[in-house]
Amino acid sequence: MPVGTQGSVKAVSPEDLVDAKTRIILANTYHLYLRPGHEIIERLGGLHRFMNWHGPILTDSGGFQVYSLAKLRDITEEGVHFQSHIDGSRHFIGPKEAMEIQSALGADIVMAFDECAPYPADYDYVLNSVKLTSLWAQRCIKYQKDDSQTLFGIVQGGMYTDLRERSARELVDMNFGGYALGGLSVGEDRETRLRVISETRGFLPDNKPVYLMGVGTPEDLVEAVMQGVDMFDCVMPTRNARNGTLFTSRGKLNIRNAAYMEDKRPVDENCRCYTCANYSRAYLRHLYMARELLAYRLNTIHNLFYYAHLMEGIRRAIEADHVDVFIQNFFEAYRGNVQV
């Protein structure tokens, strides 16, 4: 899922997203609550109409943003009092408020309000985080206003296997429509993350979607799919595009490199995106070095298409029972010799 934090995937239009084969986007409860406000969006017909996106939308709970952005947090069993990162104003979000905001936005998939533990964190802190997350999850079920929205629970537990198991089993008992793995990609090393994903996935049912939040690189996605993960979101394809890093079938390419000053080739000769069909590396480098706004749009279109095409390839490999071949070919090609 491309990340449309404030009702917009940065640098591209909804039409660009469709052309890039995007199927679903993520929007952010915390940010849209603060600006322009969920009541305004509701009065204007909901988020789909507000941003002219006709595909599915998933809204996160706001818990991670309260954890990572808000100043002066005060966490209680009722929810979180926090200070806006925009203007310092004081606010409160708990399970009831999270459900009301997401209902007003009109998302198709909504997330239960959770408490994201920092990394590293001691056992007792993470234990309390798990208890709060389960308590709030029950309340989110109670306060869910729109049955047409699919509600996901978010598994917490830090890097502790027993706490991940406890969180997962408590949420599974509540019978959510899907389950997210939260509290990862917060600074832990790759081996730890893969261990936690593998262990936690084993505690979740096979007949419900599993969503790994905030991950990640193409390698991360392929590895997590092998662990049984179905859904992902990350700012990486869009943020990296704005920083001049483009993903290709042979690895990453830094368009700022002087080697591309007169390079007539597209970013990726194996890519069918709008950018690669129409523009050279030389032109993209010129735009980026000149700080032309078109650089951000064209780079973002390519990266989003690359990610969508990667996931499409994984789906086809699963359907054809050729996953092992796909994985081998992916890593052999992606770790090639593209100049960065």
> Same structural domain for residues 147 and 257?
no
Question: 211 and 96 in one domain?
Answer: yes
Looking at the structure, tell me whether residues 267 and 229 fall in a common domain: no
The per-residue pLDDT of the chain, averaged, comes to 95
Residues 223 and 318 in one domain: no
On whether residue 340 sits in a domain, the answer given is no
Q: Are residues 175 and 208 in the same domain?
A: yes
Tokens 């599993």: give the residue. Answer: 210
Residues 138 and 216 in one domain: yes
Q: Indicate if 189 belongs to the active site.
A: no
Locus of tokens 């408590």: 170
Domain finish residue from 185, 202, 234: 234
Q: Band the pLDDT of 339: cuts 50, 70, 90.
A: low
CB 111 within 8 A of CB 60: yes
Largest CA distance in the chain: 61
CB 29 within 8 A of CB 102: yes
How far apart are alpha carbons 303 and 237 in whole angstroms? Answer: 5
Which of 234, 266, 286 marks a domain boundary? 234
Q: What's the one-letter identity of residue 291? A: R
Active-site residue among 16, 60, 114, 268? 60
pLDDT score recorded for residue 271: 97
Choose the catalytic residue: 16, 114, 220, 233. 233
Average pLDDT over residues 325-337: 86
High-pLDDT (> 90) share of the chain, %? 92
- The percent of residues in the chain predicted with pLDDT above 70, rounded, is 99
**What mean pLDDT comes out for the span 218-229?**
96
Distance (Å, whole) CA 133 – CA 138 = 9
Confidence of residue 335 (pLDDT cuts 50, 70, 90): confident
The helix/strand/coil state of 215 is strand
Q: Would the pLDDT of 261 be above 80?
A: yes
State pLDDT tens for residues 24-39. Answer: 999 999 999 999 999 9
For residue 141, tell me if it sits in a domain.
Answer: yes
Residues 89 and 215 in one domain: yes
Q: Residue 285 — very low, low, confident or very high, per pLDDT cuts 50/70/90?
A: very high
Region 210-235: mean pLDDT is 96
pLDDT in tens, 121-152: 999 999 999 999 999 999 999 999 899 999 99
Residues 158 and 256 in one domain: no
Least confident of 211-220, 231-240, 330-339: 330-339
Give residue 338's pLDDT: 59
The predicted pLDDT at position 66 comes to 81
For residues 142 and 213, state if they share a domain: yes
Assess whether pLDDT exceeds 80 at residue 166: yes
Show Cβ contacts of residue 85 under 8 Å, excluding neighbours closer than 6 positions.
Answer: 69, 70, 71
- Tokens in use for 86? 């925009």
Residue 278 to residue 240: CA distance in whole angstroms: 21
Is 233 in the active site?
A: yes
| Within a domain: 201 | yes
Within the chain, residue ranges assigned H as helices are: 14-19, 29-34, 38-43, 47-51, 63-68, 95-105, 123-143, 161-173, 190-201, 218-226, 236-242, 274-278, 281-289, 293-319, 323-334
Q: Is residue 15 part of a domain?
A: yes
Q: Which domain holds residue 263?
A: 239-334
CA-to-CA distance for 134 and 171, rounded, in angstroms? 7
Q: Any idea which residue has 């960065």 for tokens?
A: 340
Do 89 and 219 lie in a common domain? yes
Same domain, yes or no: 314 and 227: no
Last residue of one domain, picked from the residues 234, 256, 291? 234
| 259 secondary structure, DSSP code | G
* 151, 260: one domain: no
Q: Is 339 among the domain residues?
A: no
Q: What pLDDT digit, counting tens, does each position of 80-101 carry? A: 999 999 999 999 999 999 999 9
Closest CA to 242 of 310, 282, 306, 293: 293
Average pLDDT value for residue range 205-215: 97
pLDDT score, position 336: 58
Cβ atoms of residues 12 and 304 within 8 Å: yes
What pLDDT, in 10s, does the model give residues 9-24? 999 999 999 999 999 9
| Mean pLDDT value across residues 92-111 | 97
And the tokens for 9?
A: 């995937």
